[in-house]
């Protein structure tokens, strides 16, 4: 059986289903829900400022954010990440869309994942493959989306509500904890974006998560500047701190400076300033400045919000991480080349 599944490209690997699938799910989310909200927000702000002829951006962004569109994008993205053949990949669009319709992002993830793997199993097993493969993929998507996706989504949303509520009740401890865990998720080869959206992290918890993720990105960018120069600074600062994961595995101590930065700064948002965000920005940090755009979307465009965000998302993480990293270098705990990345 294992040999048969291996020939079909079905690995039954936890890494494949958690790391790879979630990472590609994030691409699907970015290509639909997130970019749609960015476009819609630009249109709304342009109209509010009196700019003419940009009303169409509101409708365009809204269409990209529709549940079925988002689910279809997730389905195709996951199928592509799992190296599905064309018939399965295209049929996964339905599976993801149907899963999202009944079970939200979490339902779409589970539905697309199972439908894709079943589709790969039956691919090229009959002479009427062009009928059997999409039928099985769509059928499995319908069954999973109907019976399995909704309960999983209900649990994920409930768990996210617990996190949101706990952060409001214990903003100091929970703010630090959320920032650290979401920051690690961003640097690790899994998708902090997908996690934040599936859990519906919102409000103060989302604000803390954004700081934790930004601290990893900006913190690593600043701390590793002498190893990577300006190009590496940009690649990590507005790209992703995941570029450091190989170095973290070789020398785990290098993740301590940005982690401390996130833990120190998050309480300023949750306890004193009240800097919030939404689930779309919570897991993005400074990647593509999405976390900052979503902060404005959540709190409005004001100068106090702007300066709070600059300090907690950019200046603070860079300063704290750099100071700690330099101290580690003086102690000999971090050596030249320990944070060297390949980003080209």
Task: Read off the tokens for 313.
Answer: 């998302």
Task: Read off φ and ψ for residue 18, nearest 5 degrees.
Answer: -95, -55
Instruction: Write down the domain spans for the chain.
Output: 2-147, 156-331
Task: Read off φ and ψ for residue 277, nearest 5 degrees.
Answer: -160, -175
Task: Read off the tokens for 60.
Answer: 């365009």
- The stretch 150-166 carries a mean pLDDT of 88
Per-residue CA distances from 145 to 94, 96, 132, 153, 266 (Å): 10, 8, 19, 11, 37
Strand-pair partners of 302: none
pLDDT in tens, 267-314: 999 999 999 999 888 988 898 788 998 899 889 889 999 999 999 999
Per-residue CA distances from 231 to 15, 224, 226, 238 (Å): 30, 11, 11, 11
Separation of alpha carbons 197 and 215, rounded Å: 20
pLDDT > 70: percent of the chain: 96
- The stretch 97-110 carries a mean pLDDT of 90
pLDDT reported for residue 4: 60
pLDDT in tens, 105-135: 889 999 999 999 999 999 888 888 899 999 9
- The stretch 3-10 carries a mean pLDDT of 66
pLDDT reported for residue 5: 66
Helix 35-48 with 290-299: angle, nearest 10 deg: 50
Rg (CA), the chain: 21
Task: Read off the tokens for 162.
Answer: 């617990």
pLDDT tier at 258, thresholds 50, 70, 90: very high
pLDDT reported for residue 176: 94
Separation of alpha carbons 240 and 219, rounded Å: 11
CB 31 within 8 A of CB 73: yes
Place of tokens 């920032």: 179
Q: 266 vs 3, which has greater pLDDT? A: 266
Q: What is the chain's mean pLDDT, rounded?
A: 89
pLDDT reported for residue 98: 93
pLDDT tier at 89, thresholds 50, 70, 90: very high
pLDDT reported for residue 73: 95
Separation of alpha carbons 73 and 202, rounded Å: 23
CB 215 within 8 A of CB 265: yes
Task: Read off φ and ψ for residue 125, nearest 5 degrees.
Answer: -105, -10
Strand-pair partners of 203: 277
Stated length of the chain: 344
pLDDT reported for residue 284: 85
Separation of alpha carbons 314 and 301, rounded Å: 18
pLDDT in tens, 170-228: 999 999 999 999 999 888 877 788 888 888 899 999 999 999 999 999 999 999 999 88
Q: Is residue 7 scored above 70 in pLDDT? A: no
pLDDT tier at 343, thresholds 50, 70, 90: low
């Amino acid at each position: 059986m294992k040999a048969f599944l291996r020939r079909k490209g079905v690995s039954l690997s936890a890494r494949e289903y958690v790391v790879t699938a979630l990472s590609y799910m994030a691409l699907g989310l970015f290509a639909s829900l997130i970019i749609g909200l960015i476009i819609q927000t630009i249109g709304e702000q342009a109209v509010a400022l009196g700019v003419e002829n940009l009303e169409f951006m509101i409708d365009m962004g809204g269409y990209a954010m529709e549940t079925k569109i988002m689910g279809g994008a997730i389905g195709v993205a996951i199928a592509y990440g799992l190296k599905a053949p064309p018939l399965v990949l295209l049929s996964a669009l339905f599976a993801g869309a149907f899963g999202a319709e009944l079970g939200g992002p979490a339902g779409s993830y589970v539905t697309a994942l199972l439908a894709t793997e079943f589709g790969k199993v039956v691919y090229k097993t009959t002479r009427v493959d062009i009928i059997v493969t999409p039928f099985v993929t769509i059928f499995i998507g319908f069954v999973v989306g109907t019976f399995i996706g909704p309960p999983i989504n209900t649990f994920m949303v409930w768990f996210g509500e617990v996190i949101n509520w706990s952060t409001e009740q214990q903003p100091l401890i929970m703010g630090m904890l959320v920032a650290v865990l979401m920051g690690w998720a961003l640097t690790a080869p899994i998708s902090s974006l997908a996690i934040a959206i599936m859990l519906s992290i919102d409000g103060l918890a989302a604000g803390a998560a954004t700081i934790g993720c930004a601290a990893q990105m900006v913190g690593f960018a600043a701390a590793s500047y002498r190893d990577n120069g300006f190009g590496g600074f940009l690649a990590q600062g507005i790209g992703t701190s995941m570029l450091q994961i190989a170095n973290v595995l070789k020398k785990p101590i290098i993740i301590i400076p940005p982690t401390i930065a996130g833990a120190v700064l998050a309480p300023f948002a949750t306890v004193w300033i009240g800097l919030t965000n939404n689930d779309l920005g919570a897991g993005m940090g400074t990647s593509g400045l999405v976390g900052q755009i979503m902060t404005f979307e959540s709190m409005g465009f004001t100068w106090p919000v702007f300066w709070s965000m600059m300090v907690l998302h950019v200046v603070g993480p860079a300063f704290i991480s750099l100071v700690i990293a330099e101290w580690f270098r003086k102690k000999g705990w971090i050596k030249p080349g320990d944070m060297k990345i390949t980003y080209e």
